[in-house]
Amino acid sequence: MRLTVLIAVVGTVPLASALPSWLPLNRRQAASTITVDLSKTYQTIDGFGCSFAFQRANLITNMSDKTKQRALLDLLFNTTSGAGLSIIRNGIGSSPDSSSDHMNTFAPKDPGGPTATPQYQWDGKDSGQLWLTQEAYNTYGVRQIYGDAWSAPGYMKSNNNENNGGTLCGVTGTNCRSGDWRQAFADYLVQYVRYYAEAGVPVTRIGFLNEPEFSPSYASMNSNGAQAADFIKVLHSTLETANLTSQVGISCCESEGWGNQVNMVNAIKSAGAEDFLATVTSHTYTGGPSGPMNTRVPVWLSEQCDLQGQWTTTWYQYGGAGEGLTWANNIYNALVNSNVSGYLYWEGVQWPSPTTNEKMIRVDQQSPYNYEVSKRLWAFANWSRFVRPGAIRVSSSGGSGVKSAAFKNVDGSVAVVVISTGGSASNVDVKLNGANATEATGWVTDSTHDCEKINVTVSSGSISGSVAARSITTFHIPAPPAPPSAGSDVGKRGWRFV
């Protein structure tokens, strides 16, 4: 039996849905209702994205096949044919070289101490990230550019090494013979922002840590919350001096898991540095959120992926960690249950090895540059294409066999994301309060569709459709036109005000 679902919109903007052509609309059954209340609001959405750190950007930047290069960029950023990602997280280099996948620093040599004039050497490439970011900014309109340092250059740290943890010299609890490098590191980060500005790309977020509780054999830097607060104050003052605080916000602290990030935020608050933050950032490798974080700062889940499972392009098989439907649900849980404002996968692209799901697209390094797209990317598409930066999450409740989230975009349009929770399709009837819409679009991702448009049936102001089994379906309702003036026939073109 198919379950008919009724979506009612409370507010002045009407809502619509769609009917997939592959699913016939059966005779109506007793309806359940999803209620979207535009007057009840939650967090503002900053966007969805991924990283291209550790030279992954070079897979696209250096590709000689320009047709495939453009196809990959479209898959990632195009809002009509791809995922429509709206945040880029770039790695700020600390390595003295570019061997392997190292991210090279533009200050490779100790100038002779923390107060000596730095010897900056910008290569105009930034491990391939600059060109890719320029394309995202200029061609696709991506406006949230996040530069994050995994480590300070080694000579600024307690272990004199960019790898294996170590702490920034000068923060609370350190006593480095080389002196206090906090200001020098803050200046370094501000110089990074300037280099990107000279290339026509405004950096909007700057970070200085990555998984600060972890000390791997690659670029890394340790910090506790008090030490992070210590440097946040220096960095904020440096941004103020450079007149950059209206453009660039500080992000912290990219913890491995939610629990450590909560502890760091509490320490930052105790040190009086919370107001200097623009974004709180966390990963989910050692544990995800169980509810909203206790901070007034927007929270991003800024890196997560499936590091253990073998590469898969499957949408749904058994609920595995790399499957597309799993990630559709992961995003839902973050936004709806934890009020997260930004959601980023780890790598957008990566070469085939390792054969894990840490990337959304697997790309060969040599010609003919074959690539394979995972269903994780299309799970993101159903969110990112239609829930645009600045959207406000609004109340969405009810329904049987589905769960939903609703958002009002800056342009006045509404996106309702519906995820099937079981193995049966659900018919959808959309009834509107206050206006009768005659147009809307529906988009489905499931085992056989990649954010593909579905047919819409409209009758007497009611729009009928279906949510396929184990799918994510997004209904997008354009902003209503301005109220018609006397004698105008505007009401005949898409909306009828009642």
Global pTM value:
0.92
* pLDDT at position 432: 52
Euclidean distance between the first and final Cα of the chain, in Å? 34
For 242-320, where are the alpha helices, taking DSSP H only? 258-270
* pLDDT at position 56: 98
139 CA to centre of own chain: 18
Running along the chain, 498 residues long, what does each successive block of 10 average in pLDDT?
Answer: 42 39 43 76 98 98 98 98 98 97 98 98 98 98 98 98 98 97 98 98 98 98 98 98 98 98 98 98 97 98 97 97 98 98 98 97 97 98 98 87 91 90 80 60 96 79 77 88 60 43
Dihedral over alpha carbons 98, 367, 85, 218 (to 10 degrees): -30
Q: Judge whether 142 and 200 are in contact, CB under 8 Å.
A: no
Torsion sign, CA atoms 323, 325, 331, 336: negative
Task: Write b or e for each residue in 213-233: b if 16 or more Cβ atoms lie within 10 A of its Cβ, otherwise e.
Answer: bbeeebbbbbbbbbbbbbbbb
Find the helix packing angle between 225-241 and 182-198, rounded to 10°: 50
Distance CA 117, CA 131 (A): 28
Task: Tell me the sheet residues that pair with 50.
Answer: 88
**Max Cα separation, the chain?**
81
* pLDDT at position 17: 37
* pLDDT at position 421: 84
Give the H or E element holding residue 477: strand 472-477
